[in-house]
Amino acid sequence: MKTQDRINQIHPVKITCDALWKVFGDNADRLKSDPDLLALPSHERSERLREQGYIIGAEDISFSVHAGELFVIMGLSGSGKSTVLRCIAQLQKPSFGHVMLDDECLDTMPEATLREIRRRKMGMVFQNFGLVPHFTALQNIAFPLKVRGESRAEAQSKALAMLNLVGLDGRGDAYPSELSGGQQQRVGIARSLAVDPEVWLLDEPFSALDPMIRRQLQDELIELQARLKKSIIFVTHDFSEAVRLADRIAIMRDGKMVQLGRPADLLLHPADDYVASFVSDVSRLQVLRLDDIMTSASAMPSDFGEAIQLDSQMTLEQCLVDLDPNQNKFIITGEQGRPVGYCTRSHMLDIVSEASVT
């Protein structure tokens, strides 16, 4: 069973963007009460808005994020990815459409209710670390807990646990100026996790860091997610980063969503040249797994012959590099070792070689 099929069956929807628009310009707030504009199809509405001099930051964006899913929104600067994230957090109000947390509509809530949701259900991490310079690392982490009314002792205890979780034990008394960029970002991550959020929103949190530190923090995020199972929406402009982290990726361009799918979907079936340009430098060997390229077991020919069994989550790199090159036929197994598909070495090689031709 494919990764997303498993997510759909096991995990409920946590966050939904339903036909979300964000429009900037003079008196843009009045647009949502214009019945003629609301009645227009999406493409006609965008044309009308541009003719009137408005800037469209996000146009008709719809997707759902499941509990425990790491969902990446990516695109180049100005694509609208951070605008969508800020609308989800209600730091900017959508011009049209809705944002749902569980089955509650965030964009119609009073501000006081939203503040409580941000304090108790949402964690946010941004590119600029946003640490209070005259607070120690431990005080920075404890700050949101104190804001929501927890005792000093309780806030201190939770902050210390979060400091240890992100690998900064022993650095609680250090001020931001005494920490490296990577360490400061770990404090920002710990601060956002201290409130034990149900939803974690990360806006290019690693993009200001050196490549080596960035990759290290990516690894740590993957490890944290394996332990904490948060619903994460992660914004980035780096497709390699997106592929490393994501269960699914939404690619944006000029305020629109161009394609939504698993990393394998984007690699194997890019929607257009824009998406193809992102995936061109990504190694299919390292990203694609056997369950991405296998043929269903129900279609396996009766004369398939002798084959060895491989786990469906193995990457093509593991298969082609680590296995005996004389082994060509494979039975792919899923949960509890049941056969779910089959594949040949020659098919794997064809999938990899297609990347250099397309």
Strand 308-311 and strand 248-253: the pairing is unpaired
In which element (H, E) is residue 96 found?
A: strand 96-101
Highest mean pLDDT among 127-131, 191-195, 230-234: 230-234
What is the rounded distance in angstroms from the CA atom of residue 103 to the CA atom of residue 118? 16
CB 61 within 8 A of CB 84: yes
pLDDT of residue 206: 87
pLDDT higher than threshold 70 for residue 6:
no
Spatial distance between the Cα atoms of 39 and 47, rounded to a whole number of angstroms: 13
Q: Do the Cβ atoms of 342 and 304 come closer than 8 Å? A: yes
Q: Tokens in use for 205?
A: 């949190």
Band the pLDDT of 10: cuts 50, 70, 90: low
Mean pLDDT, to the nearest integer, of 256-265?
95
**What is the rounded average pLDDT of the residues 274-297?**
90
User: Which domains are delineated in the chain?
Assistant: 3-14+64-121+197-282 (3.40.50.300), 286-357 (3.90.1280.20)
pLDDT attached to residue 9: 52
Q: What is the pLDDT of residue 1?
A: 44
Quick check: 93 and 31 in contact, CB under 8 A?
no
| Residues sharing a CB contact under 8 Å with residue 199, sequence separation 6 or more, in sequence order | 14, 15, 101, 121, 122, 123, 230, 231, 232, 233
pLDDT of 107-122, one tens digit each? 999 999 998 898 889 9
pLDDT at residue 50 in the model: 95
Cα–Cα distance list, 109 to 104, 106, 195, 198 (Å): 9, 5, 21, 18
Share above pLDDT 70 across residues of the chain, in percent, rounded to a whole number: 96
- Per-residue buried b or exposed e for 126-145, using 16+ beta carbons within 10 Å of the residue's own CB: bbebebeeebbbbbbbbbbb
